[in-house]
Chains A and B, each alone.
Chain A
């Protein structure tokens, strides 16, 4: 499905190269270089204000929606810079989907919630099948199959978040970005989402921002630790396998952060 134009980086899903993000004249994150392997789960962790959400949103040009935001550097997706001039941000967002912090189903039926994204993207196949399949993948089908015409808002928080994941899957993206997807959920619903994320990585590459270190430790293959520098710009401190980060971090700041002795 993927043709890699720069050849060397065969297993990469996406790569940030010397990325800087500005809000007006304020540099929010600086010099981020990050290689994300295909079919892996990468957690972005760090203290509040370290720019991890900004970094995440740069991967599908969601920052474009903030009027003053500006991205420098490159993000290579299948060998192409998604910030190149001829690239349509809408196309980028279709192929790199996003799940948000608060479950945010549309005030439409469960069925429509899943179908909508596919429809606006010109899906021509069997919609019923796509909806069922997407809900299956999001581990929600059994709970909603008898009430597809009910409002998405009638579901519990955890179900709503899985509906949002189903909605994202239905568009068939290659990468899914998740911005603290479980922070508004209770612990049990959180664990279900984490299980689901593990399941999803078979088919998708996942980047997840989380405040919850245990969640990063439990659910991810790789962990990127960000910190805020003295100029208030976020930067990447350490990026490594999650096992390594949580048992034997290389950088002192990472160690302080994961042991809860930060700042």
Chain B
């Protein structure tokens, strides 16, 4: 660059006069507006929380008074009119069926989500996403009817209500929930990690199985727990697949199975006070069960994180 060029370039520069950066005069007004908005937000949160708190309060208040050692350790009282008995058969059935449903739904749901995220260039992906979206929205009674028609009814495969039919029905509820939630979780795994793994000469399955899924593990557990909680409280599906039972049913097939929500539904429906009291205790039991499972999942999730 010659000195003459330097000359012209420095002379031709027009300095833009910077704004004087005046202090905003409406500062106080803006501050007030901010406070009003904060107040509105706080009220909205309060309104959302009040019903939740009331439910919780009511379940605990009424449930706790009926909850006792007998309730937790005995099976159902056949009579709605008499006091005594518990929901042990329901608790057993719920754990049994939710367990089966989880065994099916967690691997399938996570696998679906993994496929959607990690094989995003596949032409199947939009299709799969559409289906999981639709399935999440399907009323659970339809799911129940579907399983009933295919497996339970008359001379179909299972030929009657059973634990397995209930578990399968619940798994159909869980799969789309797990798939949808896991998809978000897996998407959160930074691409940096995938690139790092590929950069080390890893194959896709190694990246997915050894880097992406372990990294997403705690999120996947949370996603699964969402579905477990939903399944544990599910009633409509079970009406058409498990039906209900008054005793503990260890059989997988051939005999109807009990579940907490089914019993609550049955006992709360009638006009009888002892049954109502048990139903409240059952509701509390179900709530505590979900809470406990969530806490365990949280704990495991934290353990898997390095």
Contact = CB atoms under 8 A, between A and B. Distances in A.
A102 B194 CA distance: 13
B201 A62 contact: no
B197 interface: yes
A232 B199 CA distance: 28
Contact of B192 (A60, A93, A102): A102
Interface residues of B, number: 23
Contact of B202 (A107, A117, A164): A117
Contact of A90 (B190, B193, B201, B306): B201
A22 interface: no
Nearest to B199: A98
Contacts of A121: 200-201
A168 B199 contact: yes
A251 B190 CA distance: 40
A3 interface: no
Nearest to A150: B306
A164 B196 contact: yes
Given A104-B192, A120-B210, A97 B202 contact: no
A190 interface: no
A133 interface: no
Contacts of A109: 306
Interface string B178-193: 0000000000001011
Contact of A67 (B121, B197, B198, B199): B121
Given A67-B121, A108-B306, A91 B192 contact: no
Contacts of A153: 306
A171 B201 contact: yes
B115 to A, nearest CB: 15
Interface in A37-70: 60, 62, 65, 67
Nearest to B304: A107
Q: Determine which residue in A93, A99, A107 has the highest number of CB atoms from chain B within 10 A of its CB, and name it.
A: A107
Nearest to B202: A120
A120 B195 contact: no
A215 interface: no
Interface in A101-116: 102, 104-109, 116
A93 B195 contact: no
A116 B214 contact: no
A93 B199 contact: yes
Contact of B201 (A91, A99, A261): A91
A151 interface: yes
A229 to B, nearest CB: 23
A152 B193 CA distance: 13
A62 B190 contact: no
Interface in B255-306: 305-306
Q: Determine which residue in B193, B194, B201, B206 has the highest number of CB atoms from chain A within 10 A of its CB, and name it.
A: B201
Contacts of B206: 120
Interface of A: 60, 62, 65, 67, 90-91, 93-95, 97-100, 102, 104-109, 116-117, 120-121, 151-153, 164, 167-168, 171, 261
7 contacts: A93-B198, A107-B193, A107-B305, A108-B214, A117-B200, A120-B203, A171-B200
Interface of B: 1, 120-121, 190, 192-203, 206, 210-211, 214-215, 305-306
